[in-house]
Structure 1
């Protein structure tokens, strides 16, 4: 079967050069460390290490072969969301990346499926940029951060973006970004180990209780890293709806209906949680993902699925079938 990795990131050197030319104030700075990695700096954010495979296509193709992956769904790295920046400048950076990812898909149609990024802090611009990404650049999804400069994803100002996504029936990958309570998680890499799944869970709850999913039934929201804490706490969400009035402020229907529409990637790093996710949400709502090429992703994604799931038909859905359906690829 074809193996499609639906959660990967990319930032090539031509993208960096184009951003530096058009928007020098937001240009990523890449400082090589060795043959395998660099330090990436964007505004006040530093990624160390930043793996070579994020910008080197030949390295990426070699690693795909080694990891038994045939296709990558590629999106921008979260560092280039730039939601705290000027909206017009961030929109230009988004357009540069969208156009470049579209070109990569056309150059390598058997290797890449592309997703867009937009300047969510400027929703009207973002809606227009997303429309262009779909209709002009051929991208098949949207990559969004878990919060927009501290605002949750149920902010009514974001509705123009959701309306475009709903009209096109888009797949939207929700990725943790600028995690809450970072000042308490400075040690032990807790900003990622705990902060990232917590951020994803807050985003999921906001989409549910803010009525975003309910109002936009055609969007397929996918939660990164197996949904953070969402699958394990879904029962708590449902119970809170029954016993408290606060969850009813914007959500009209039962939260179970919105929860039932989430898609999850397969990144659990252990077989037990993956089997729990499969039992909790079903095989049709999980897609194979690795968070390539970052070190908190997995290089053994295919083997992890094989070790956790014996049923070949279920593996086929995770590796290929669900992605083909969600991205409109056909058989």
Structure 2
């Protein structure tokens, strides 16, 4: 498959989850991130990440205390930090940066463009993460062929799940809300 078909979308996915798990979205809540290509696989993987959040939030007994203690020990030295087990590091970052709000909260703060993603497949999944107020129009032109632009326009206009007000919001209003200087 061409890189634009899969690699770019997975890079977007990794970046989005990295922003959440590493606490960037929590630390900087006023930054408005716009994810290309409808967030890549973010909408599809959101459910899996929510299950992880539920499991981590529900951990009881000695395990959370042991993880916290081990994290403090590893943090005493930069040499030790580099040897911290990946799962422990992930758990501690996830607990500190994603809980108690949960991943859906942070994923819902992103904006998602329609570049090469204006299709029923993408919109059905994307609308489980955000409503139309967080979707902005995009085509990926000049990287995508000029012929792809009308297909993207039609993809937004013809999606059965969008009312005319949704189409107007995606086509223009949401971008103007994000970037009033464009108006």
TM-score normalised by L of structure 1: 0.40
Shift of 1:211: 0.3
Give the conservation status (yes or no) of the 8 Å contact 1:209–1:247. Answer: no
Corresponding residue of 2:9: 197
Corresponding residue of 2:156: 305
Task: Please list, as runs of the form range in 1=range in 2, the aligned pairs for 1:1-331 lying within 5 A after superposition.
Answer: 188-189=1-2, 191-244=3-56, 246-249=90-93, 250-251=96-97, 253=99, 254-267=102-115, 268-295=117-144, 298-300=148-150, 301-309=152-160, 310-329=162-181
Give the conservation status (yes or no) of the 8 Å contact 2:37–2:114. Answer: yes
Structure-1 separation of matches of 2:145 and 2:38? 13
**1:137-180 deviations in whole A, cap 9, x for unaligned?**
xxxxxxxxxxxxxxxxxxxxxxxxxxxxxxxxxxxxxxxxxxxx
Higher relative contact order (CA 8 A, sep 6+): 2
Give the conservation status (yes or no) of the 8 Å contact 1:241–1:248. Answer: no
Give the conservation status (yes or no) of the 8 Å contact 1:262–1:285. Answer: yes
Give the conservation status (yes or no) of the 8 Å contact 1:287–1:318. Answer: yes
Shift of 1:195: 0.9
Corresponding residue of 1:184: none
Indicate the RMSD between aligned Cα atoms, in angstroms.
Answer: 2.2
5+ residue gaps, structure 2, are 57-87
Shift of 1:242: 2.7
TM-score normalised by L of structure 2: 0.69
More helix by percentage? 2
Shift of 1:252: 5.2
**Deviating runs (4+, > 4 A) in structure 1?**
none
Shift of 1:217: 0.6
Shift of 1:303: 1.6
